[in-house]
Every structure is written in structure tokens, then in C-alpha cells.
Structure 1
Amino acid sequence: MAPNVTVDELSDNLREVHDIEKLADKNGRYLIYPDKKYPELEPFEHFDRGQRGDPKKASLFDNASKVFDVTPHIGTEIHGIQLSQLTDTQKDDLALLVAERGVLFFRDQDIKVDQGLEFGKSFGPLHIHSTFGHPEGYPEVHVVYFDEKTPREYFDSNSASEGWHTDVSYEVQPPSVTLLKMSIVPPTGGDTLWASGYAAYDRLTPTMQKFLEGLEAKHSAQRQFDDAHSNGHINRREHKETTHPIIRTHPVTGWKSLYVQPEFTTSIVGLTKHESDAVLQFLYNHITGGYDFQVRLKWEANTVAVWDNRITFHNPIFDYLDVGRRHGWRVTPQAEKPYFDPNSKSKKQADLEARGLIEKQ
């Protein structure tokens, strides 16, 4: 068991019962930044419910009005399913589907925050951020809110390509299946991009794949800690750096995925700074330029994206700050500590074997 905060803090008695979507619409910025310190996260054994999923995903597909892949390598949109009403079997199938497709899109969703928390808990312990603000009574809810009053220093001084990341990858056991609902969208802009870590690995040459397999990289929260300090907020935990494999294996699919990104990855273990910077910059360019393994979502109010942080990268586009505001909330379950299995396969290899084009190995 790995509680993120004490049980009494998570009790319903201490939650304020309010609709944060209406709160955002009425009040705009509403987050609190408590000065409470949290205990460090404890290790836990993770079981991925995608292991129980039906390869045909019948519980989802048979009850949907429309299902289609948005691009060949990543992204599937499902209509006619309400995430607030999923059965356990449907959650198992969803976990398997998102492990294969990377990100799923659902339109016209009625799911509320408390239902989203229950959804998230079914996939793993909910992550509580060490520095970000949250709605009062909801420390596990990560809020997205930007508008015309948002300070522009960060966005004006950084390229949009630097925004690619996987959420809180500096944790020892980073997130897996993640849910984000957008309740307020600007009249135009504010899209989000996702990229496939599976395809990013497959697009590398065999020589580069072999070089990266077994290497590890450091992931750091230092920038977020520095931002909190500069804004007068505390760091609620002390942990800020972890080492993870550059190529990780997904526990459900058994496929290899690239696992570095410019937001939190800082260096490669065992290489000089010059070598590390050169390799990481190559990999970042590989991700940002991978238009053939990316998908772009144009949000509508009440759209939900569910993605697997273990095998995707994502990047919100801040092109709307002059024209409107954007508000959503995210629930972020944690999963296993990233690992690399040298016997695991690439998605491309698995696909070719399934089609009988190469022999199984």
C-alpha cells in the first residue's frame, strides 16, 4: 500500500462538495496552495487491470455507437460510451485498449470530479502533486486553467517543442492510465498533441535501438520545485529525481517504448555531459519531428482524453492566451516502476508476427 497523503485528509468529511467546473466558470482561478508537508511516496506492487482485458474489447466496442482510429499509430475515438458508467469489465478492456493505442478520446462526457477520482483509483493510487495548487478538498485533482491573464514569461521564452512530456516522470512509480476532462475551451486553439513511444522506438535504426537499450536517464522535478519557490509556494515532498530506463517495457503489451522527454529528463547515466546532451537532443528532435506517429486533439467542452503515460508523450499548445481561456481537470493514477525486459518486442515486430509476415520469436 502506498498512501499519497494521510487517510484522514482523503476522507469525504474534509472534502468541499462543489462542482469545480462551475467554480472555474464563475470565479476563474480558484486553486489553493496549502503549506502542508506530505510524507514521501511509499513503494507498492502494481497490478495492471489491462491484463484481464479482452483482446476483442467487446464490452466497449459492442456498446459504442462509433469507434475509429484517428491515426494509424496512436489515438482512437469512441462514441456512445459514458466513462461515468463503466463496468469493471469495461475498465479492464479500456486499460488494454489504451495500452495498445496510447490515447483514447471521448466526446460529450458527463463524468464529474468525484466520479473521475473513483475511475482513477481503479487503475492505481492517485498521485498528488508536490508543488501545484489544487481545488479545496481535492488534493488528488490536477487542474488545467490558463487565460488572457496568465503570465506570458514562460511561453514567450520557450519553444512549444519544449513542452513535450510524460507526467511527473521523476516519481519512482510514475503514472499510467490518466484522465483529463476539458470543461471550458477557447473559441479556437488550445489543442493537445500526443506521440507514440512505441512508434518512436520503432522509427529508430536497429543500431540506435541496441545502443539505447539498457541505458538509464535521470528525471528531475527541479524546475517545478524552483517555480514553486519563486511563486512563494512550498515543496510538499523532498523527492525530486529518479533514474529510469530510456527504453521501457509495457507490462500488458510487452512492447518496447522510448521513455525520455525534454520536460523532465536531464541526463543519461554513464555518459559525459557532452555525449548525454547530444543523444538526448537527438531523441527530443526525433519525438517532436515524428509527425507520422503523433495525433492532435481539438478539444470541445466535455471532451475527455484517457492516455497511458508509460508509452506516450503529450504537449498542450498555448496558442489561445490572447483569445480565450481553457479549463479542465486531471486524475493521475500511479503504476509500476519503469523497467526494461531484454526479451520484450517492439510493437512493429509484434504486429508483423500477428499478421504472419515473420516468424514468432
Structure 2
Amino acid sequence: MSDLLQVKLIQVEHGDAILVSYGHSPVRHILVDGGPAHALPSLLEVLAAARVDEVLTLEALVVTHYDFDHIGGIIALLKQRPGWLRINDIWFNGHKHLLPRDVLGPHHGDALSDLIERSHLPWNSAFVGKAVTVLNGGGICLPDGMVAWVLSPTAKELSALAKQWPMVVAGDADSAPRDRLGRNDSWPPPSFFSLVDKRSPPDTSVSNASSIALLLQFKHKQVLLSGDAHSEVIRTSLAARWPGQKLVVDLLKVSHHGSQSNTSTAMLGHVSCRRFAISTNGRIHAHPDQALIARLIGSTSNAELIFNYRTPSTAKWKQRPLAWPKYITLYPGDDDPFVNIVV
């Protein structure tokens, strides 16, 4: 049996929760984010199904940033961590990684920091206890040949986060009406060419800018998990790490659930990729945006759009709009709480 590399985009409503499984005898796992807290049952169902001999070991648990639709499920998971779940390292930039002191407060990021410390779990061990940043992430080697490259954030984004951190409002942050650029999209969409070159306002969210983005390399396969990161940060990292070439990427998990503000044509120009995964049910922010979909399709031939939900926001892309380039779609099975992507 050949080595496995598969990515499960778990259904956690409008959030991210991604289980990466790789290798063979044993199959190893990385969990990236956990969706909002109330989506914990879906997260637990998928994790429990991945157990071997009643145990699941995560080589790394990555929490990309403190937005509730990414961190809430992880807080809930650690508060009631099942005895069968083992965690070898947690990658998360807490307040202590932003400033020389660690002041815990009533916010989601601080709540997770407190949980990690009280549970005596390993925290950023792969980074010698320092922040998860492009500078500190020169290629992290995980067991059995998996290598993780950090593409975001840089020290600049973490410095900006440090200035905002005390101003973060506690509560259910996933209900905040921030990115609604797609709400005015009507169906069918306008012509492909009118959208593919559309200029989108940049994402100005400081928390999204601090998002951890990873390039995972296993054997001859490469997966880019961009969290909610800003495309310019990822583009700059790609250009610096692999200058003068397009990096072949077998799967790109599109940033910020398909917002047009987080995946630019310039960034897509630095990768050669035809498979694009989008994690959202689209019910709060109307993601994915039509301009983003056009941008993805326009960046390659025969693009594959992969959705972890079949909802009104996502299912309409099954039918190719008139005069648009050819592409294919993939949706989860009727009874599956995830879409499974074999890379």
C-alpha cells in the first residue's frame, strides 16, 4: 500500500477544521483549527473515526489565529479532551509570543493560552517555544517525512496583533458582520471576464493578517493551507522561498472561506495549482465570492472547486455559468460530515 496523503475539510459551519492524514503504518495526523465551539460534535465525530486501537495522536494541533470560527472548537475540545486524544505539539501564537510578558485576559486567545498551560500540553515546541512565524519556521520536520513551511505570519503581522490584542471584544466573534462582499452577488453571475479582473478591497483584519499559513510537503505532494491569511504575505513568502519559479501545489485551501479579499491574482501567479478547497456553508458571510471563484478558474485550466458543504451558496457552482471556462466540482457524500480530498 502506498503512502497516504488526504485532507478532510470538516463541516464546522462557516469555520475551518481540517484533518490532514499522511503516511502508512502508522497513518499520522495534523489538525488545523476547530471551527466555532458549537460545531464540536462534528469535529469529535471525525477525530473519533480516525482512531487506531482506540487512540488518536495528533503530531501537531495548529490554531491559525484567534477568530472564533477557528479557535472556538479547539477551546471546547481541550476543555473536555477525550482520553483517547493525544497531542504531541500545539502551534498557536498566544499573547506571550507577541509581547515580552504574558497577561491573560477574558478573550478567546487568552482562554486557549490558559487551557494549554493548565493542561501542561506542549506549546510551539517545534519552534523552541517561540512564535510561529515565517522567520522561525524554516521547514519543520514532522515524523515520517512530513515537512511544514510557515508562509504567514511575519513579525510585522504579530506586532500589529500585539497592539490590538487588548481591544479584542470577548464573545461570539463569529457573529460579527465583517466580510460581506459577496452578499450583493446575484445568480447567474456576470460574464467571467468582468469578474476575473475585478479589483477587490484588501482584507484589513489584523487577526486575519496574523493567521498561520502552512505549506505541507509530503513525498512529492504539496498542500497549501492558508487559514485566513492575507494573500500578499503568502505571495511574499513564496517569492522569497522559491524565487523565480511557480511552486507546484497539489491542493490550495483557499484563504478566508473564499473571500475575494484574501486570494489575489498575484499570489495565484506564484503557484501552479488546479485543485482549490473552500471551507464554509456560506450562511453568514455569503462566501465564496463570485470574483474569487472567477480568479481561481482563470489561474489554471480545468480547475477543480472542492466544497465541504452542499448548500445554496456552494451547490450553485455545480452548474457552470454560461460562457464560463470549464471546471469541475467536488462535494461531500450525503452522510459525510466532511469532504475527503485524496491528494
TM-score relative to the length of structure 1: 0.24
Larger RCO (CA under 8 A, 6+ residues apart): 1
Flag the structure with larger Rg.
1
TM-score relative to the length of structure 2: 0.25
